[in-house]
Amino acid sequence: MDQTVLPTRRPARKSGTTPTRRHRKTEQRRQQIFSGALSCFEQKGYHETTVADIAAAAGVSSGLIYQYFNDKRDLLFQVILEILEAYNRDVPSALIGVKDPLERLQAAAIAYYKVIDQRVQATLFAYRESASLEKEQIAILKSKELQTNQLIVDCVLECERAGFCMDVDPELATYWIINSAHAWGLKNWRLRKVISFEDYARKTLGVIIRGMLNDAGEAHFSRHNLLDGRPL
Amino acid sequence: MDQTVLPTRRPARKSGTTPTRRHRKTEQRRQQIFSGALSCFEQKGYHETTVADIAAAAGVSSGLIYQYFNDKRDLLFQVILEILEAYNRDVPSALIGVKDPLERLQAAAIAYYKVIDQRVQATLFAYRESASLEKEQIAILKSKELQTNQLIVDCVLECERAGFCMDVDPELATYWIINSAHAWGLKNWRLRKVISFEDYARKTLGVIIRGMLNDAGEAHFSRHNLLDGRPL
Amino acid sequence: MDQTVLPTRRPARKSGTTPTRRHRKTEQRRQQIFSGALSCFEQKGYHETTVADIAAAAGVSSGLIYQYFNDKRDLLFQVILEILEAYNRDVPSALIGVKDPLERLQAAAIAYYKVIDQRVQATLFAYRESASLEKEQIAILKSKELQTNQLIVDCVLECERAGFCMDVDPELATYWIINSAHAWGLKNWRLRKVISFEDYARKTLGVIIRGMLNDAGEAHFSRHNLLDGRPL
Amino acid sequence: MDQTVLPTRRPARKSGTTPTRRHRKTEQRRQQIFSGALSCFEQKGYHETTVADIAAAAGVSSGLIYQYFNDKRDLLFQVILEILEAYNRDVPSALIGVKDPLERLQAAAIAYYKVIDQRVQATLFAYRESASLEKEQIAILKSKELQTNQLIVDCVLECERAGFCMDVDPELATYWIINSAHAWGLKNWRLRKVISFEDYARKTLGVIIRGMLNDAGEAHFSRHNLLDGRPL
DNA sequence: AATGAATGAGCGTTCATTCAT
DNA sequence: AATGAATGAACGCTCATTCAT
């Protein structure tokens, strides 16, 4: 699926040096530009950032950018895509080895919270600027987002199957988790003055998870609580 | 407080007609331009909207806009400010005549949810574009937001004082409510496909409010529940 | 037909001063820019001319050009169109009052030659740069050209009907005239060193017209010769 | 003369392989690039063609082009020069073995027509793009053109010396031929719909040649007519 | 008060040319 | 000899803002 997602022009590697070496250099350049763009976009926003800014931040000439990305828009798209993909990467890796359904749900939620916390700026930025993309690109981002959501939906479904849940729509429950995580990013300017990340996560996830559980779930939760009594 | 908020140039009324009549006409013009701007901004975003677009939408010449607003930025600022003020207006009016603390909290939350639902586009827009303002203007918006939040914080405090609450930070609880309302706007593209507004409000607010209450609160809530069993 | 030809954005004249006055000023501005463009294009060619060059030549700012023309291409199109239209204007006016078919043919041909001679640079330019237009625009120019050709074709047909002609395709004969006129423009760099315009026209048209006539035509031509024995 | 014509940088052959082999390979590379350029220029015009286009069409890297040609302009110059030289090559070879002056003139004219017909695109292109060259280069092209013209002028002079001609300037008569040939290229978009190449040549050259001949010439022509009654 | 013609700085993008490999 | 990544000057075009009317 990801392959269809990237219409970005990449320099064809043909010959000369070993493909790998060339590819490595190429990939490194791409990364340079990418990072420059991310940093500029986060600091000043998409529209306020000029291509020259990005070039300067990346330490390349402005022309070179167009050998790695189609245009400024494409760069924005790739950057936001990468942010969303980070979510997609971190959640599954947090589930490895976790067996208990309720623990899996907590682990997934905590992982999601953590990505947001690590990249508050990026999250803010993704929220704001994705509107500047083309409809087609936005659709891709949305589907990417749903893909990540599904990781959590699946955990909720496991809990349901285990008989832990009240009658709650799994996607709605997932949105409770996701939106509360996003809120940490979106309202970070205020929340971080009121509460620490850990406390925010503990308390907010606590309410949400308890809000989904039935008595059996509650009982199970009291023995499989990843939120309290230890560092996240 | 609002006075400090408006550095907008307003046309000096000189003479000729009565101040009131002139003022009325002036205010109407201002409103025209304002509405044109709001509509353009919502549809196309701040950067994609040109001053000429606004002029056309408002049915005035582009030059005239500068007699009512300092510049395009100022127009954006005023528009976002107005959106936030709508929140500020609707919540208190929903509390009129409601006495019970828990009912007041619910009424405030429902009112807040409703404003968001009525102006999903505007909410989205305010989230996205406020970053384009100057730091000073952003600070004003943030304080305006806190002002609204305080309306809800106060309700939470009343509930605490009434002995209904577990040990929850009132501002955190308020953010649970507010963020879940905003989420309805921000993720409306998906949520409206999954759930109706009423159900979203009922279920989400239900979890949040139950999450704050102690046993006494729960007991009281069962008799003072505004969320279930009737239209919001 | 000409109306369909002009997708150029013209400033809407609405009110303020009398429409006529405004229109006059507008038309004058348009003319200013137009002339600046023509002069630049003739001197340096389309691609070598920058919009800034045109603005400077016209004595306006570069931005203003875009209020009168869609883009640089459009300006090129309009300029070439005007050149072709000059042909279209001058030929018919040369035919007014001329009755004899053979005289009409000569008058038309001479008129055509003269327009070319008066605007050698423009002719050269039109030949060179029309390739830079869009296919659609080129089609319009070609049809405009055929329209002018038809003026001469009609004269040839009149001569045929009068029984003056050998069996010659009228459009081919027309092209002999037109191409020889264009040749005066295209090879002007050399021809003007070899022969005067008048002599070129007399001799070249002489051969062409005699080449089309039968004996009756020849006899008639000896009494209705506009080429020899007087200034063209 | 041609030597002065070529300021193009040619790769210095240094050592290693035999000069001849190296030269052969070198010449082949040059040809590759040249053909790529010609094809691109014909299809898209000089300005629309990028050096990368040429490199791709030639199957070489863009950098290599600069080892065989000074710059893009030089490539244009060489290409147009080659087109003109084709005229210069084909006309003399058509005269070999033809003795009769009037036949030689016809043979030369027909040969000229044929080169044009074979390379209509190239002719169009040469007309359009030579303006993009430097004055010095244009002068060279003009002299090359006059050189070709002279081949025909000489034939006309032979006819005059043989007593076949009316009092016509030989260079003018030559231009009649040449321009009518060029016209086949320039107006090919229309003429080919109206008439076949053979008919165009027969009829047009017929008029021109008859237009130059006196009675003696006419009589001779009726016995030495290469235009009618056989394929050209 | 109202207009809208006019400005011009500023941006995204292209592409001929160079040069390290 | 050959590559193609890298450069950066240059251009077309937009649009917020001004100001004469």
DSSP calls for D107-156: HHHHHHHHHHHHTHHHHHHHHHHGGGS-HHHHHHHHHHHHHHHHHHHHHH
Give CA separation, C16 vs B16, B61, C19, C77, in Å. Answer: 22, 12, 8, 31
* pLDDT over threshold 80, residue B19: no
pLDDT above 70 covers what percent of chain D?
A: 91
pLDDT in tens, D133-189: 999 999 999 999 999 999 999 999 999 999 999 999 999 999 999 999 999 999 999
pLDDT above 70 covers what percent of chain B?
A: 91
Select the residue from D142, D149, D176 to test the C interface by mutation, using most C Cβ atoms within 10 A: D176
Q: Are D53 and D41 in contact (CB under 8 A)?
A: no
pLDDT grade, residue C162 (50/70/90)?
A: very high
pLDDT grade, residue D25 (50/70/90)?
A: confident
- Is A189 within 8 Å of chain B by CB? yes
| C-beta atoms surrounding B4 within 10 Å | 8
* pLDDT over threshold 90, residue C64: yes
| C-beta atoms surrounding A96 within 10 Å | 7
Select the residue from A172, A180, A193, A212 to test the B interface by mutation, using most B Cβ atoms within 10 A: A172
Q: Are B54 and B75 in contact (CB under 8 A)?
A: yes
Q: Are B109 and B152 in contact (CB under 8 A)?
A: yes
Within 8 A by CB and 6+ apart from D194, the residues are C169, C171, C172, C175
Exposure of C78 in the CB half-sphere (CA atoms within 13 A)? 23
Cβ-defined contact of A186 to B182 (cutoff 8 Å): yes
Q: Are A58 and A36 in contact (CB under 8 A)?
A: yes
pLDDT grade, residue C130 (50/70/90)?
A: very high
Q: Stretch B6-11: mean pLDDT, rounded?
A: 56
Burial of D85 (0-12, 13-18, 19+ CB in 10 A): middle
pLDDT grade, residue C24 (50/70/90)?
A: confident
Q: Are A134 and A73 in contact (CB under 8 A)?
A: yes
DSSP-assigned states of every residue in chain B: -HHHH-----PPP-SSS-HHHHHHHHHHHHHHHHHHHHHHHHHH-TTT--HHHHHHHHTS-HHHHHHHSSSHHHHHHHHHHHHHHHHHHHHHHHHTT--SHHHHHHHHHHHHHHHHHHTHHHHHHHHHHGGGS-HHHHHHHHHHHHHHHHHHHHHHHHHHHTT-B-S--HHHHHHHHHHHHHHHHHTHHHHHHHS-HHHHHHHHHHHHHHHHB-HHHHHHHHHS-SSSSS--
Backbone angles phi, psi at D165, to 5 degrees: -105, 150
For the record, the structure tokens of B123 come out as: 């909410």
- Identify, with chain letter, the residue nearest to nucleotide F12 (CA–C1'): C51
pLDDT grade, residue B7 (50/70/90)?
A: low
Domains in chain B (CATH in brackets) are 2-70 (1.10.10.60), 74-223 (1.10.357.10)
Residue count of chain B:
232
Considering only CA atoms, give the Rg of chain D.
21
Which residues in D lie closer than 8 A to residue C190 (C-beta atoms)? 142, 146, 175
pLDDT confidence of residue D19: 57
Chain F bases near protein CB atoms (7 A cut-off)? 1-21
Distance B50 CA to E6 C1' (A): 17
* pLDDT over threshold 50, residue D103: yes
For residue B213, give the 3-state DSSP assignment.
strand
- Identify, with chain letter, the residue nearest to nucleotide F6 (CA–C1'): A64
Instruction: Give exposure, C4-20, as e/b (b: 16+ Cβ within 10 Å).
Output: ebeeeeeeebeeeeeee
pLDDT confidence of residue D232: 84
Give the relative orientation of helices A197-212 and B170-186 as an angle to the nearest 10 degrees: 70
The residue with greater pLDDT, B95 or C10, is: B95
Exposure of C181 in the CB half-sphere (CA atoms within 13 A)? 23
Distance B132 CA to F21 C1' (A): 35
Give dist(CA D130, CA C124) in Å, integer: 12
Give dist(CA D88, CA B4) in Å, integer: 85
Q: Are C26 and C13 in contact (CB under 8 A)?
A: yes
pLDDT confidence of residue B23: 76
Give dist(CA B77, CA B72) in Å, integer: 9
pLDDT grade, residue A3 (50/70/90)?
A: very low
* pLDDT over threshold 60, residue A13: no
pLDDT confidence of residue A9: 57
* pLDDT over threshold 90, residue C210: yes
User: Where do runs of H (alpha helix) occur along C45-169?
Assistant: 51-58, 62-68, 72-95, 101-118, 120-129, 135-161
For the record, the structure tokens of B54 come out as: 């606004």
Give CA separation, C1 vs B24, B108, C5, D77, in Å. Answer: 51, 66, 7, 41
pLDDT grade, residue C23 (50/70/90)?
A: confident
Backbone angles phi, psi at D11, to 5 degrees: -60, 130
Which residues in A lie closer than 8 A to residue B186 (C-beta atoms)? 127, 179, 182
Give dist(CA A76, CA A38) in Å, integer: 8
Inter-chain CB pairs, A–B, below 8 Å: 92
Give dist(CA D183, CA D195) in Å, integer: 13
For the record, the structure tokens of C202 come out as: 């007399």
Average confidence score pLDDT of chain A: 91
Give CA separation, A204 vs A5, A138, A192, in Å. Answer: 34, 29, 14
Q: Of C148, C184, C152, C183, give the one whose Cα is nearest residue C169.
A: C152
Q: Are A178 and B179 in contact (CB under 8 A)?
A: no
Give dist(CA C102, CA C124) in Å, integer: 30
End-to-end alpha-carbon separation of chain C, Å?
33
pLDDT grade, residue D9 (50/70/90)?
A: low
- What does the CA dihedral C59, C62, C65, C70 come to, rounded to 10 degrees? 160
Q: What is the pTM of this model?
A: 0.90
Burial of C196 (0-12, 13-18, 19+ CB in 10 A): exposed
The residue with greater pLDDT, B212 or B10, is: B212
Give dist(CA C39, CA C93) in Å, integer: 26
Q: Which residues pair with C165 in a beta bridge?
A: C213
Give dist(CA C90, CA C88) in Å, integer: 6
Q: Are B158 and B108 in contact (CB under 8 A)?
A: no
Q: Of B218, B211, B200, give the one whose Cα is nearest residue B173.
A: B211
- Is A41 within 8 Å of chain B by CB? no
For the record, the structure tokens of A8 come out as: 């970005």
Please list the helix, strand and coil fractions of chain A in percent, rounded to the nearest 5, in that order: 75, 0, 25
- Identify, with chain letter, the residue nearest to nucleotide F18 (CA–C1'): B63
- Is B166 within 8 Å of chain A by CB? no
Q: Of C71, C56, C54, give the one whose Cα is nearest residue C134.
A: C71
Cβ-defined contact of B142 to A189 (cutoff 8 Å): yes
Give dist(CA B60, CA B56) in Å, integer: 6
Give the relative orientation of helices D170-186 and D101-118 as an angle to the nearest 10 degrees: 30
Q: Please report the sign of the dihedral spanned by the C-alpha atoms of residue C7, residue C8, residue C10, residue C12.
A: positive
pLDDT confidence of residue B13: 46
Q: Are A42 and A122 in contact (CB under 8 A)?
A: yes
* pLDDT over threshold 60, residue A161: yes
pLDDT confidence of residue B11: 56
Give dist(CA B84, CA B78) in Å, integer: 10
pLDDT confidence of residue C31: 96
Alpha carbon D145 to its chain's center? 8
Q: Stretch A110-124: mean pLDDT, rounded?
A: 95
For residue C196, give the 3-state DSSP assignment.
coil
Give dist(CA B107, CA B217) in Å, integer: 16
Alpha carbon A103 to its chain's center? 21
Amino acid at site A222: S
Q: Stretch B46-66: mean pLDDT, rounded?
A: 97
